[in-house]
Amino acid sequence: MSRIRRHVAAAAAAGTVLAAVLGTGAGAAAAPVPDGPGRGWVPAFTGGPHTPRPLPGEPVPANPYQGAVGLSSMHADSHASDTYPFHGPLGKRPEARSEAKAGGLPGLCSTVTFARKSGLIVAQCTRGATFTLRLIDPGTLRDLAAYELPPRSSTVTAAVSLDFDKILTDTSGGAYYYLDPQDRAVLADSAFHLRRFAHEKGPDGKWRFTVTDDWDLSGHLPHDCATWTDPWPKGECDPITAVGPDWGGLIWWITRNGRIGTVNPENGAVRQIRLPGEGIQNSFAAGADGVSIVSDHALYKLRAGADGTPEIRWRKAYDRGSGRKPGQIDQGSGTTPTLLGTEYVAITDNADDRMNVLVHRREDGSRVCQVPVFGSGASATDNSLVGYGRSLFVENNYGYRNFFELPPGGSSVGGVSRIDIDADGQGCRTVWESKERSLSAVPKVSVTAGLLYLYTKEPRRDLIDAWYLTAVDVHTGRTVYKVLTGTGKWFDNNWAPVTLGPDGTAYVGVVGGLAAVRDRP
């Protein structure tokens, strides 16, 4: 992007931030996400229906302190497998619908989870430049309740500096939350409070969120953060990026500047350690054997000590490359660790020439394999690997930075690969490669259907931005079908994931709100 165009985008973003602060559009009526130009010029559906063929492997085990597998977090479960034990859409007369979530402002729903008791969606979405916890009807996509969360300091920093990369590379504020077995959302906000939110229907028949527990972590973390009255603080601001439970009941949290801690929900005790000189932008995975965390320098295996203090069992450095690539939000691995079965943990590195998929043994950290993926000088990912059985799926995000900077008709370099661990655990191999361009969506797999779901956009000379939910056969890498969700900037997912619902619907958070694709009877 030229310097002039970059400043135009920054100015437009500044207007968005100002509108959010002033509350413009907050009362607008619910409506579909508006299309950009060209919807009638692109196909609404290509391909055909799919006959399910399951992906082999043992079911992902359920963490006793997290909600149901497939329903309870951005990455589907405690193992961060990004897989589901139920069907997604099979391409049988599929229909797409959407719902705007911020009345003309960016309203992207970055995390979508599902409450078992109420059957409703619990989602974390933006409202302009702030975050909101939303309770959503899964069929109509209409809001039933909302709870506004504290604004992030990066919003202030971006507005006063006109550097909107500060917002678009900030993973704090509550996106990495989870549902517990009681359907409560456990979330760390930008005010350094870790809270549990229940949802219930009140005497007036209306749904609402209520805070059932509140742990103030500001006394344990540096919190001299930018505010509108003090946009240039002199101290350290270290926001919480992710929370999750281990299998003993402790709530773990991590921060941007490399702090790792736990909260004991029984007595509120807080314990922490720090990784000196290292940062953490992604979430983490928890198995019965411990917690796996990746910093911008190394992969870690940790367990809690007797008093809850995180203890490092092993550390394995990886090739972090010489800088941040276009297609990543920092220099380092862009992946949340993915646990496979009881033996393996997988990430990607950030090697300069070709990024590698790395698989380690969870017991001692020894490396099983290092497999280069995608083209020379054009490989990067900032999304978790999908992992199930002995199979891993990785997409190439190289070339995508954010929805501001993606030009009309533009796309990423593209590429998706399946990597399998050898049956003897002594190496790995590439099973197939696809040329699909999934720019920035966390991909997902329906284990029972045998489909990998992507969110794709092809480059077009006519400058039409056509966004598709795309299903790929996990066994062959063949594209099965594509369903148009919409056209234009409002349908850019800007790093939000694909999420499968228990009724077979696929959801995608888009800049304008939330899109859904489901089969018709």
Residue 479 reports pLDDT greater than 90: yes
Mean pLDDT, the chain, whole residue set: 92
Encode pLDDT of 228-273 as tens digits: 888 899 999 999 999 999 999 999 999 999 999 999 999 999 999 9
Please tell me the distance from the alpha carbon of residue 39 to that of residue 404, in angstroms, as a whole number: 21
Residue 5's pLDDT is 36
Tokens representing residue 85 in the block: 């034990």
Residue scoring higher pLDDT (286 or 2)? 286
> Band of the pLDDT at 483, cuts 50, 70, 90?
very high
Encode pLDDT of 12-26 as tens digits: 343 444 333 333 333
> Band of the pLDDT at 310, cuts 50, 70, 90?
very high
Q: How many percent of the chain have pLDDT more than 90?
A: 84
Reference 394, options 419, 431, 367; nearest CA is 419
Encode pLDDT of 390-435 as tens digits: 999 999 999 999 898 999 999 999 999 999 999 999 999 999 999 9
Amino acid at 60: V
| Mean pLDDT calculated for residue range 311-320 | 98
Highest averaged pLDDT of the listed ranges 1-10, 94-103, 164-173, 444-453 = 444-453
pTM score above 0.75: yes
Residue 155's pLDDT is 81
CB atoms within 10 A of CB 203: 5
Q: Which helix (H) or strand (E) holds 14?
A: helix 3-22
State the greatest distance between any 2 C-alpha atoms of the chain, in Å, as a whole number: 62
Q: Which CATH architecture has domain 3-519?
A: 7 Propeller (2.130)
DSSP state of 89: -
| Mean pLDDT calculated for residue range 182-201 | 97
Instruction: Name the strands in the sheet holding 466-473, side by side, starting at the edge strand that comes first in the sequence.
Output: 45-47, 479-487, 466-473, 451-456, 444-446, 83-84
> Band of the pLDDT at 105, cuts 50, 70, 90?
confident
| Mean pLDDT calculated for residue range 211-222 | 97
Residue 163's pLDDT is 75
Residue 303 reports pLDDT greater than 80: yes
Query: Read out DSSP for 333-386?
Result: -----EEETTTEEEEE---SSS-EEEEEETTT--EEEEEE-SBTTB----SPPE
Amino acid at 43: P
Residue 334's pLDDT is 93
Encode pLDDT of 221-230 as tens digits: 999 998 888 8
Encode pLDDT of 31-44 as tens digits: 999 999 999 999 99
Residue 7 reports pLDDT greater than 70: no
Residue whose entry in the numeric block shows the structure tokens 């920035």: 440
Residue 156's pLDDT is 81
Residue 153's pLDDT is 83
Domain ranges of the chain: 3-519
Encode pLDDT of 42-98 as tens digits: 999 999 999 999 999 999 999 999 999 999 999 999 999 999 999 999 999 999 999
Encode pLDDT of 360-397 as tens digits: 999 999 999 999 999 999 999 999 999 999 999 999 99
Reference 72, options 60, 54, 89; nearest CA is 60
Residue 9's pLDDT is 37
In angstroms, what is the C-alpha Rg of the chain?
21
Residue 2 reports pLDDT greater than 60: no
Tokens representing residue 17 in the block: 């931030």
Q: Within 13 Å, how many C-alpha atoms sit on residue 237's CB side?
A: 19
